[in-house]
Structure 1
Amino acid sequence: TFVMRVEASDLDDPLTPHGALRYDIHSLFHIDRRTGIITTRTVVGLDRERVARFSLVVMASDMEGDARISLSTTATAIITITDINDHAPEFTSRTWTGTVRENAVGVPVTMALLSVIDADEVGTAAWRVRYSLRGGGAGGAAWGAGDPQDLFAVETDPATNDGRIVVVKPLDFEMASSYKLIVVVDNEEPSVKSAWTPPQSTATVHGDVEDENEAPLFEPRLQQVRLSEGVALGSVVTTLVARDPDSAQKQSLRYGKLRVPGDWLEVDAVSGVVSTAAEIDRESPLVRDSVYTATFLATDNGSPASASGTSTLRLLLSDVNDNAPTAAVWPPGAAACPHGGVTVMAADEDQDPNGRPFRFQLAPGVGGDKWKVRQVDANSSQLLARSPLPEGLHWVELVVWDSGTPPLGAVRRLQVPVCAACDHRGLCRRGDGAGASAVAVATIVVLVILLGLLGSLLLAVAFKRRRHGDKAGRWSLAELHGDLT
């Protein structure tokens, strides 16, 4: 390998023996006697880890190097040996042990740091190391190829080459209470293979998993039960089932309520049986889209602290005919003509088929002799006057039935305003009835305003007289008339 070239000069004529120079060197290096080019003589001994720098004394002689008659001089050639990756990293120990908490993620295995030694130059790619998991097992069982579940990883400190094993996925004590990992180390830079290069260094890490108290698990976590509204109190709805994942710990579970709107349900603390504790009403504000939702707990008696899991119960409520229909004049505030009528609209909180079509009939009693009923469609009917009715408010009672099995009905008392007269379209004329009353009210308001203005004028005249010296403070009607004028 070419290393460098040294040059010497001689003031004598180079074409004569007096200026014909020859070089010589005695070391691991060779120098061309004529050109001064230095090359390596052998690789044996060129080990940077043993000798990182050579200082060579080079002699140049004239007279073609004839030691008897030549003149000579010397110079120093400094040769620095650059590093190659000819030393593999080696673990300082073949075995490490540690512990890790169950379900912990991103935490290191508690043990001494993995450490290696590498004779190559510190800070170079030939010295910096990489750790990898090449084998191991759970509970001592061999995996054969790395960490198949990718539960662990090795982090490297680039300043020290120390390694730290961390957990990247939660460990389950009940699945495996211990792990054995095989860790392999190599350099960032590929090693230079030679006859004396050692094989890759490996180490074994034994890790124990610390058991933790885990929350109970419901099976299933979400239950949906179909139930008719209005079932009897104490009816069994379902049975909650939870299990404790901590099989190594002997624990008992108790069930309880977390969120049960209206306290409609109860749960047995030991058996998990859920039963009704109040009336189940599909039309209640606690129910959305016929679904009632409650949440329950299962709590263990673990140590050092108990743990709880949750389960959601959805009741898919089916409708029963438990609401009688309502009725009202439509549109609100509509008035009837003396010879006409009004529309009555019915509604029901129950779903079909427990709602429409509705049936309307006059109830015996209030207003029944003045009106008759004509069905319009499934939701409405018309109240028609049997004979001309006087202007004012009239009461009438209707019985409205739904289509449930059996049908449910209720008496609804309606107030129907009747106007004085109607136009050709059958609508109350403006100015009649309520309109005439509005005109009368407006007239009264105008009169009150005029009286107030008259009083203000009288007070103004009185103050004027007082300012003009009328000590008696009296005036005649003629004078008052003149002032007002």
Structure 2
Amino acid sequence: MWLNLEGLLVSGPLKDTDFSVQEGGGPRILHQFTLEPPAVSFRISGEKAGIIDIEPKSGILYINGSLDWETKQVHKLQVESLDESGTVVKGPNAVTIYVDDINDNPPEFNQTKYFGVVRQNSRPGKPFMYVHATDRDDPTTPHAHLSYSILHHFPNPYEEMLFQIDNVTGAISPSRTGSYYLDPQKQDTFTLVVSVKDMAGTTTNAFTSSVDVIITVRESLWKAPPTIHIKENSTQAHPVNISKVQSNEPDVIYGIFEKEKLPRLPFSISKNGDIYVTEPLDREEKDTYTFFVVSKDSKGELVDKPLQIQVIVEDINDNPPVCQQALTVIEVQENEIGGSHIGTVFATDMDEEDTLNSRLQFKIQSQEPEFPEKNLFYIQQDTGNLHLTGRSLSKRDSAKYSLKVLVSDPGFQTICDVEVHVIDINDQIPIFENSDYNNVTVAENIPIGTVILEIQATDGDEPATGSSLIIYQVKEGDPNNTFIIETDSETNRGFVKINKALDFETMPVYNLVINATNPEPLVPSVEYNSSSLTTFKVFVTNVDEPPVFRKPIYRTEVSEDIPVNTLVMMVEAYDPEGDSVRYSLEGDKRKWLRIDSATGQVYTASLLDREQEEVYSIEVVASEQMFLILHLRDVNDNRPQLAMDYPAFFCYPVSGGERTLIQATDADEHLFYSKFTFSLANEMNTRNNWEISTFNATHAYLSPKHANFEEKEYNVPIILNDNGKPPLENKVNLKVSICKCSSENSCFIEVDREHSWPTPGQAIGILVGVLLIIGVILGAVFCHMKYKEKNEKGDHKDAKDKAELDRLA
């Protein structure tokens, strides 16, 4: 009975039609042909393969089974429409179905085992044998493109493989390392496990097959024998001949030279060069032996270079494979494509590593249930890698598959149980009920492990899976992992707990951002967003802890006649929060003692009297010390001043372009004078003679506006503004000297036109060019003489001073 497929099928009148259909896949509908009167039914003929047919009345063309590209790539059919009498109305029309190949065939080698021979010192890269595999899939697609590689190397005595394979041709050759080290005396047989992958080996979902390649190494007369292999715990009668050496010279005497100093060496050599093992060996006691065989003449001289003999004690296969887990559980999402690598079955073998005794091979023995078909899974025999074969799994078909995997070594077999769980894809993110859980207030001494908040997010994926389980984490605001969030796996409720002790002094507030995620990755098209985040604040309150005394009782003994102010003892307490401690006494009813409040030193305050009280007990109180701090805010109550304590000067005569830097300062906080304003007083002479320009916030340049200045001192009135709130101004007079300068452009005398009598500073400036000691003496004499003649010889003195200045200039 067909379902009502109206609107779901592509339909149309009968005509020649081609279809492309992927092999496998099961029953499906391809097309619906519509009847055109007088036609009342359809008929189909041709290469129907027993599964291609048409529903006569409805015209639905369908496949009732699975097509196989390997069996037939094209099906050619004819469709006719018939009237009620069975007469052909229309047709036959050609219907061609092309089968598209899928990668459903693993590659196969053309031999079950390969054998090859390689000579010692063969050139690297030169092939000495080939392996060949075929793939039944479409050779025009990557499904049948094969890539070869060496999967295992038994034994593998070096870090690099001794053989290599061309991944395209399957040619096997010695590697560069093998060309140098291959030596049949050390190892004459190698077993290579060669792997071939389809899909050119470029994807983990490729099918893989492997084959053993047995390689024999041939060698080239005093030669060390190949590495000697002796099975442990041999039951043969000893001594047993294990090898032979022969010197190039006759009548030599053979001997064994130990490389290792062993308690006993279980080997001997005969006069003919036969080497014997003298007793059974135990691989667990020692797995390798190395010694030298020497040949000497009758005088005891060496005839040949010593030969190194290597003996390996071989393990016997006495251990079966062991499943790494009693039950291997593999989860597979519904959307996992056919061919995907879904997991690995792991097993171990206690026999010697890298030998055939411990080589494991895997095979699926059974699958339960066998629905919707058998062989839904494929396992790589040498790796245990488990793949889907040709289709995705559906949880509606079965939520779980039980596999029995047969794991075998050359002598034992073990069954490993595997469960494949089909899981819902993770396409829903956790969503918090509240985007903000507001504030939580806790005391700093709250016990570790206390739950301080419960949070809740929900997830729409299948319950009790990795897609719906919610993991809560503190994403931001907790650098020291002070909090931890545990999840109730049944309800997905989160419990925020204290993970480390809180400390109000270190961190009084936490601004926490919590995210909710799943352990299972989201599908590529879905991402976490703000709905999976929530916030809340944790306020930590301080717990004031009282001071603690170092001792519970302070006891001492003194004489009753000690003087007043004698130190009798010292008490000590500390505050857990680091505050200062002050001490006081209570219950000192006789007023015999006093205590230093800062140090805890106890002194006598008056004379003691044993007859009044022999044992005097009082209470010492320790309390926290508190400070009251008064901080005064600054107001703009200081006018700006010039920071210069020396006069400015310009060299006479003024030539133009000169300038001098002046600076303003203020006693107020920097807030009120971050920028000073400089300007000249609004006076005619001042503005005609001088100009001022800003340099930065605290400095300005003063410069003369012309060259017509006399040689004297000028007072330049300048207005300073501190730009405070409110701003304060100050008018200051800057003394500026116009004076003759030395060759170093420094003024060597102050010019004062108001007084004819030179000051001591002017005298020093005049005598700069003479020797310092003579100048000081002459200056003192000159000042003394001029002081006596000040009134009666003023005019004469001025002329003399002027002449002296002219001479110095």
Normalising to structure 2: TM-score of the pair? 0.22
Query: Which fold has the larger relative contact order, with Cα–Cα distance below 8 Å and residues 6 or more apart in sequence?
Result: 1
